[in-house]
A and B are shown apart, each in its own frame.
Chain A
Amino acid sequence: MNLIRTKGLIILLSLALLSVLTLVLFSASISKMILQSQLSSLNGAEVNINEAAVAFNPLVIKLDKIQVTNNENPLENSLEISKAVLEVDTRSLLRGRFIVNELQLDNIQFATQRMQAGAVFVEEDQTQEEKTPETDAGNGFMGASSLTMPDMDELINKTGLDTENAFKAVNEKAKQTKVSWADIESRVSDKNKWDGYSSRYNTVKTNIKSGSAKEKLQALKDFKDLKNEVSDELREIKKDKDKLKKDSDELNILYAQAKKMPGKDLQKIKSSISLNSGGVANISRLLFSEEITGYIESARNVYKKIAPYVAADEASEEQIVRGQGRYVEFKDNDPQPGFLIKKAGFTARLPAGKFDGKARYIAFDQKINNKPAEIKLSGKDLIHSKSEIMSAVLDLRDKKAPRFAVNYDIDQRNIRQYEVSAGTSLPLVMETAMLDMRSKASLQSGKLSADVDARFKKVKFDSTKDPSDKSFSSLVTAAMLNISEFNINAELKGTLNKPDIKIDSDIDNKINKQLSASFAKIRKDYEDQLALKIKNKYAADIDSIEQSVAGLDDLKRSINTKQTDITEKLNKYKK
């Protein structure tokens, strides 16, 4: 009895040979099929590979044109890769592990259009997520929405001006003085009286010279009387002069005081109203918090995609399914995770320019190889900046405390026509600027910590604000237009969903300085106008008083002349 079936042996060998030939000849198609399936499953949406080629020993898979459908927009690729080359560890593959020793991705592009819509397998989570709350834009900026200076006339009328009373007093004094001056003037200027004295003097002189003894005696007596009368007159004139001087001094004092009153009243008015700008607070927070909120939202979207892999594995009791058994683990001489990319290089063409990147140890089960995933992306001589470097580390070795850290540095990025604020109260565009930025962020066990240091140089702001607008916001806008460089430092703490954002910038101080200068000018103009108004109010009184003073001076001169004249005559009489 021959139990061995020769035909069977031949069939078996043929089958084996056929399997090997199929594997060799159709490995590319099989690889393409498997990779498309696996990547689609991972992505939750269709992934297409144009062509695949496989080389053995070492196992190298080359893929042409990989298109990864965007879950949210099936007509768009979230990612498109022109060429991918993977060197796969064959031994690990036989053990059910996909270990890529080296991966090269060329010409990665984002958001490219698809010819046909890709299938989406996993619905996006439609549950309402807690939105990133609006960051507090800060207070104290637009509190004074308009800068209205008090009406001057109303202010003057409302405030009791001491100038008025002072000038009233001066006028009263001037009136009184004028009356007494009139008496003095009439006495001093009485020509008949003085002519009488001269005539009596001449008669006395004649009688003394050529008169009889009796006439001479009479003349002497008359002369004595005349001399006494003239002396009395002189004494009166002196008295009058003294009185005049006293009145004149008093009037001058009152006038001097009255002249000072407008200035004092101006100070009084100024102290009764507040003419300070008050300054601005947190303008940087107002202008830039929205931008920062946008970055946080982007970070949340990225984190949402990797969160399923970051989530800690829940310990679950192993369920033994009937007909499937349980796997017993033995000591692995070369422990490796189920999926690992040891080393990767890639080039990406972004709207900003060409970027080169490197990555290491990309795996989601990092406990086995005990190395965190690292990615570094850098671009030089880009369209808008000199260089940009991004490096990230994803450490999942301890799944209870996963850590995600990102550093992002920008050197000399040119900013053009960046709309800083679109609001009607402060429309502001950064026309040009040069930005240097250093930022780092880390998310560990759900706790966020981030620091951004941005330096803006050669800044030119522009605004559509009407320059004739005298509002407070207009002043702020004008102040900003004078700023040519500033720094911003932002700190974020808390969680990704509820970050506490703190923004500091020297732009607040710069604006406040500018505002102070602008406001000082406005205040000075206002005060000058107010002073002029007060002065003009009492101009007529001042003229009148000055005329009176001038008249007084004339009278003084006239009295002095008269006094001199009489004294000469008296001296002549004495001779």
Chain B
Amino acid sequence: MISSFAKIIRLMSSDIEPAQLSLGICLGFVLGLSPAISIQALLAVVLLIILRANLSVLMLSAGLISIIAYLLDPLLLQLGSAVLSVAELNSLFSWMYNNSFWYLLRFNNTLNMGSLVISLAAFIPLFLLSNFLIKRYRVAIEKHWKSSRLFQYISQSKLLGKLTAVAERVS
């Protein structure tokens, strides 16, 4: 927990591009929300490999979101079921159902569909929001935070130094 917190602080303060951090957050969100075998999970892994998304942030994000996703399961199931029942999309879904590729990706699973819809809907807004917040943090908060007495005390604290060293060794 402490190492995660320390990591977040370090990343936020680092020179890593906000877009990379944001991408990590979004991809982590998708992976945390979706079942392992799903369209969005497969796509997220591909994007993870070919894009410069920050892996640490991704893992942190995925971990956090998966806990929330467990609680949101019933909502995702209802949403997926509702989408799969839309009459206008029936022909599309029938085509996908008869297509081996889409069939293998189990698009007709209510949980998959629910998490796909949320992932698609939330990806860009989350990316933009994360980006904005990281930039704001760096510009406004970081400077103020570093000049605060608490930050001075914590950064100079031997205990924090030791804990950070231990955490770094462990990670």
In the complex, per-residue mask of A131-166: 1 if CB is within 8 Å of any chain B CB, else 0: 000000000000000000000000000000000000
Cα distance A332–B98 when bound, in Å? 6
Does A322 sit at the interface, judged by CB under 8 A?
yes
Cα distance A331–B95 when bound, in Å? 9
In the complex, per-residue mask of A6-22: 1 if CB is within 8 Å of any chain B CB, else 0: 00110110010000000
Please give the distance in Å from B42's CB to the nearest CB on chain A. 12
Contact of B77 among A1, A91, A326 (CB under 8 A): A326
B residues within 8 A CB of A328?
81, 84-85, 93, 108-110
Please give the distance in Å from B96's CB to the nearest CB on chain A. 8
B100 touches A95 (CB 8 A): yes
B residues within 8 A CB of A9?
49-50
A residues within 8 A CB of B19?
1, 3
B51 touches A5 (CB 8 A): yes
- Listed residue (B19, B90, B111) with the most chain A CB atoms within 10 angstroms of its CB: B111
A residues within 8 A CB of B35?
323-325
Cα distance A8–B52 when bound, in Å? 8
Does A115 sit at the interface, judged by CB under 8 A?
no
A residues within 8 A CB of B100?
91, 94-95
A332 touches B97 (CB 8 A): yes
Name the interface residues of B131-148: CB closer than 8 Å to any CB of A.
none
B residues within 8 A CB of A4?
50-52
Name the interface residues of B75-116: CB closer than 8 Å to any CB of A.
77, 80-81, 84-85, 90, 93-94, 97-98, 100-101, 103-104, 106, 108-112, 114
Does A2 sit at the interface, judged by CB under 8 A?
yes
Does B30 sit at the interface, judged by CB under 8 A?
no
Please give the distance in Å from B101's CB to the nearest CB on chain A. 8
B residues within 8 A CB of A329?
97, 108
Tell whether A325 pairs with B77 under 8 Å between CB atoms, given A2-B52, A3-B52, A8-B50: yes
Does B46 sit at the interface, judged by CB under 8 A?
yes
When C-beta atoms are compared, the residue in chain A nearest to B18 turns out to be A1
Tell whether A3 pairs with B97 under 8 Å between CB atoms, given A325-B112, A327-B109, A328-B81: no
Tell whether A325 pairs with B97 under 8 Å between CB atoms, given A1-B19, A2-B52, A8-B50: no
Cα distance A135–B171 when bound, in Å? 78
Please give the distance in Å from A56's CB to the nearest CB on chain B. 15
Please give the distance in Å from B55's CB to the nearest CB on chain A. 11
When C-beta atoms are compared, the residue in chain B nearest to A1 turns out to be B17
Tally of contact residues, B, Cβ under 8 A: 34
Tell whether A330 pairs with B17 under 8 Å between CB atoms, given A95-B100, A323-B35, A323-B70: no
- Listed residue (B20, B50, B85, B106) with the most chain A CB atoms within 10 angstroms of its CB: B50
Does B23 sit at the interface, judged by CB under 8 A?
yes
Please give the distance in Å from A502's CB to the nearest CB on chain B. 55
Cα distance A326–B85 when bound, in Å? 13
A94 touches B98 (CB 8 A): no
Does B168 sit at the interface, judged by CB under 8 A?
no
Does A333 sit at the interface, judged by CB under 8 A?
yes
Does A466 sit at the interface, judged by CB under 8 A?
no
Name the interface residues of A93-128: CB closer than 8 Å to any CB of B.
94-96
A94 touches B103 (CB 8 A): yes
Please give the distance in Å from A445's CB to the nearest CB on chain B. 35
Tell whether A5 pairs with B52 under 8 Å between CB atoms, given A327-B108, A328-B81: yes
Does A213 sit at the interface, judged by CB under 8 A?
no
A5 touches B81 (CB 8 A): no
Cα distance A280–B70 when bound, in Å? 81
B50 touches A5 (CB 8 A): yes
B94 touches A326 (CB 8 A): no
A residues within 8 A CB of B73?
322-323
B98 touches A334 (CB 8 A): yes
B77 touches A95 (CB 8 A): no
Please give the distance in Å from A177's CB to the nearest CB on chain B. 127
When C-beta atoms are compared, the residue in chain A nearest to B112 turns out to be A325
Does A320 sit at the interface, judged by CB under 8 A?
yes
A326 touches B110 (CB 8 A): yes
Tell whether A12 pairs with B109 under 8 Å between CB atoms, given A3-B23, A330-B94: no
Cα distance A4–B17 when bound, in Å? 13
Cα distance A96–B109 when bound, in Å? 15
Tell whether A330 pairs with B90 under 8 Å between CB atoms, given A8-B49, A8-B50, A94-B100: yes
Tell whether A325 pairs with B109 under 8 Å between CB atoms, given A8-B49, A91-B100: yes
Cα distance A308–B98 when bound, in Å? 30
B49 touches A325 (CB 8 A): no
Cα distance A9–B50 when bound, in Å? 5
A330 touches B97 (CB 8 A): yes
- Listed residue (A91, A324, A332) with the most chain B CB atoms within 10 angstroms of its CB: A324
Name the interface residues of B143-167: CB closer than 8 Å to any CB of A.
none
Cα distance A320–B110 when bound, in Å? 10
B80 touches A95 (CB 8 A): no
Please give the distance in Å from B60's CB to the nearest CB on chain A. 19
- Listed residue (B52, B90, B101, B104) with the most chain A CB atoms within 10 angstroms of its CB: B52
In the complex, per-residue mask of A302-345: 1 if CB is within 8 Å of any chain B CB, else 0: 00000000000000000010111111111111100000000000
Please give the distance in Å from B137's CB to the nearest CB on chain A. 18
Please give the distance in Å from B74's CB to the nearest CB on chain A. 8
A residues within 8 A CB of B93?
328, 330
When C-beta atoms are compared, the residue in chain B nearest to A12 turns out to be B49
Please give the distance in Å from A530's CB to the nearest CB on chain B. 97
A residues within 8 A CB of B97?
329-332
Cα distance A96–B94 when bound, in Å? 17
* Supplied contacts A5-B49, A95-B100, A326-B110, 12 more A-B pairs, CB within 8 Å: A2-B52, A3-B51, A8-B52, A95-B104, A324-B111, A327-B108, A327-B109, A329-B108, A330-B90, A330-B97, A331-B94, A331-B97
A–B Cβ pairs within 8 angstroms, 6 of them: A3-B19, A5-B52, A324-B35, A328-B81, A329-B97, A332-B97
6 A-B pairs closest in CB distance = A325-B111, A94-B100, A330-B97, A8-B49, A325-B109, A328-B84
